[in-house]
Every structure is written in C-alpha cells, then in structure tokens.
Amino acid sequence: MDNHDKLALPVGTTLDRFIMRKQEDFPYATGELSQLLRDFALASKIVNREINRSGLIDVAGAYGNRNVQGEEQQKLDVIANIRFIRALRNGGEVCTIISEEDEEMIQTGNVQGKYVVAIDPLDGSSNIDVNVSIGTIFSIYRRVSPTGTEGTAQDCMQTGTHQVAAGYVIYGSSTMMVYTTGNGVNGFTYEPSLGEFFLSHPNIQTPATGSVYSVNEGTSEYFSEGMKKYVAHCKEQNYSARYIGSLVADFHRNLLKGGIYMYPGTSKVPNGKLRLMYECNPLAFIVEQAGGKSSNGHRRTLELEPTELHQRCPVFIGSTEMVEKAEEFLAAEMKTAEAE
C-alpha cells in the first residue's frame, strides 16, 4: 500500500450496498424486501438519535400509560413505536403490523403491500434511565391473504419457519443492526458522522458452546425442579452469570461470545414473559442461521403454533450444546413426573 492509499483507506461496505448485492438471495427478489430492510435502517437511525439525546429533551422516564402487556410504557417506547410504524407505513411494502405497544393489528393502508411485520420497537426500555443497552427486534413474513385487501390475523400469526427476514438493532456503546434473510447472519455498525451502517460482523457464527448463562435468578424460587438443576449444573461448570435485563443485549453478547439465554415458564408465570411473534421467533431465526438453537425447553421455537398476537412462550436460546443440555434436564424432569 502506497502513501496515497494510506491517506484514504476504504470505509467498508454500507448496508444499502450490501442489500443490493445480496438481493438475489431473497425469495421473490423484486426489490420490496430490500426496501423494507432500508425502512428499518432509516427508522433505527431516527430512534438512535432520540435515545442519544434522551437525557437532554425529557424523553426518558415513564409515559403514564400501560401497554397491552400490562407493562408501564416509557416515553421512548411510544416514540420508537411511532417512528417504526410511520417508516413502515410510508415505505409501502407492509400491509399490516403487530407491535408490542398496540393491542390490535395495525393496518397501514398499503393493501398492495406483500409483507407483514411483527416488531418490539424498544426492548428493555426500562433500562434507558440508567444508560443500559436497549434494542429493537423485528420479524418479516410474506402475507398469505390476497393483495388488494387488508391484512388478516392469519397473515400475522404464521409459524416462525415462514419468516423471510428477521433482525434486531442494539443501541449501546455503538449502534448495530443484525439481520438474516435465511442466508446467514450479518451485523452492521452505525457510523453517526456519515449517517450510514457499515458491515462490521460478516457471516456471524455463534460458538457451539460457551461459559455464560443468562437468566433472572431473582425468580428462581418459582423455577421447576429441572430448571433449578440446570442452573446448578451451570454453576458446577463454573459458568459466568450475565443478565442485563435487556433481551437484545443479553442475546447479542451470547450470539457473539457463546452462551445461553433463558426465560423459562415458572409456577408463577407458566408461559414465561417473552412474546413469541416479535421476540422469540425473530431471535430464533437469527440464532439458527448463526448455527445456534432455540426452543421452549421441549420444542423448536420456530415450529410453535401461534394462537394469539401477543402470545407468550418460554425460551432457551443460544449455543446449541448449552440449549440441548438444558432440554435434557427438562426432559428428565418430565419423565420423572410421568413415572410418578
């Protein structure tokens, strides 16, 4: 490399350019899915801006309402929901949206749109006030109802195996967008001075095993016996306990470093806390594309049949060997219960 080249080193591949190059990998490569991914990127840049100045313009803290989950909405929950819905509505590719923040399906008015989206606009938003990483999770399906009509519940409640794309954005020490279209997983880091996402983590492969387990042990009193035994096993193996309380942040760390994230069903909350359509399914699609595994402890997450928009389900997700070991403990518990 001569001195002239050193003065202007390449900055890398932008998200837009990467999407254009990979368009032939998309099923039904007509350009709409490419544009839809760009819509997500645009909205995430706007949300990133709002998050970064949240302490300056009074958008941190509680909004005063509760969402459909019964959880107290944060101001940035509402802002992020508005920003993403507006971007998807204006983009024209999406006919219907389901969001964590809205009880009913959202009809965009784009009856010719070929896609439906499930989204958690701002995961972990209660951590905003203490400057901890938060994120956005999204899932994209092709509609099954005829174009020219409004989207239906059947469009929105497909099994995870029918996803055509899924991704998340993590707003942390840097902002990253990670997504898959079923041909591997790639991560892009946002360069704010240029206003662009650049490819920083090509072809992400999660380790087959790891030394980190992530679970809210504050609820361990309500764990099943199999779950308690698996947590004890993790401690016997000298695994590190790492639990941020933001799903995206915990998942992202384990995806890159190896580990398992767990939100099991408990005697108090039998179906767990996480939502199948816009938390578990998209992350399960991503982790499988990166060589990992996700299940509800007994069945593959992507094969679970949704019965309602905001359905909850237990989740064990991360490095394949660790998820399979957790399943072994839960299967042994079930076998013991059947024998009794």
Is 103 annotated as a binding-site member?
no
Backbone angles phi, psi at 269, to 5 degrees: -130, 85
Question: Would you state the structure tokens that stand for residue 240, as one six-digit string?
Answer: 């590190």
Maximum distance among all alpha carbons in the chain? 77
Closest among 283, 26, 18 to 137, alpha carbons compared: 283
Q: How many CB atoms lie within 10 A of CB 42?
A: 15
In this predicted model, which residue has the larger pLDDT, 6 or 229?
A: 229
Has 100 been labeled as part of a binding site?
yes
pLDDT above 70: percentage of residues in the chain = 89
Confidence of residue 26 (pLDDT cuts 50, 70, 90): low
Question: pLDDT category, 10, cuts 50, 70, 90?
Answer: low
CA neighbours closer than 13 Å in the CB half-sphere of residue 287? 37
The response to whether 125 counts as a known ligand-binding position is yes
Is residue 126 a known part of a binding site? yes
272 labelled ligand-binding: no
The answer, yes or no, to whether residue 223 has pLDDT greater than 50, is yes
Say which residue the tokens 């092709």 belong to: 142
HSE of 327, CA atoms in CB hemisphere, 13 A: 19
Residues 159, 161: Cα–Cα separation, whole Å: 5
Q: Which pLDDT value is given to residue 60?
A: 47
- The pTM for the full model equals 0.92
70: left (phi over 0), alpha (psi -120 to 50) or beta: left
Domain residue ranges in the chain: 15-201, 212-339
CATH topology (fold) of 212-339: D-Maltodextrin-Binding Protein; domain 2 (3.40.190)
Specify the range with the lowest mean pLDDT, choosing from 58-62, 117-121, 164-168, 232-236: 58-62
* Homologous superfamily of domain range 15-201: Fructose-1,6-Bisphosphatase, subunit A, domain 1 (3.30.540.10)
The letter for the amino acid at 221 is: E
HSE-up (13 A, CA, CB side) for residue 144: 10
Decide: 244 and 218 in contact? Cβ < 8 Å: no
Residue 290: other Cβ atoms inside 10 A:
20
**Residues 247, 206: Cα–Cα separation, whole Å:** 17
Please list the alpha-helical segments (H only) found in the chain.
Answer: 3-7, 15-21, 32-52, 75-91, 153-156, 225-236, 247-257, 281-289, 320-339
Q: Is 216 annotated as a binding residue?
A: yes
Confidence class for position 273, pLDDT limits 50, 70, 90: very high
pLDDT band at 7 (very low <50, low <70, confident <90, very high): low
Please indicate if the annotation marks 39 as binding a ligand.
no
SS3 per residue for 267-288:
CCCCCCCCEHHHHHHHHHHHHH
**Strand 212-214 vs strand 196-201: parallel, antiparallel, or unpaired?**
unpaired
Q: Is the pLDDT of residue 64 over 50?
A: no
Instruction: Answer yes or no: is 120 a known binding residue.
Output: yes
Is 122 annotated as belonging to a binding site?
Answer: yes
Across the chain, mean pLDDT equals 90
Distance CA 300, CA 168 (A): 20
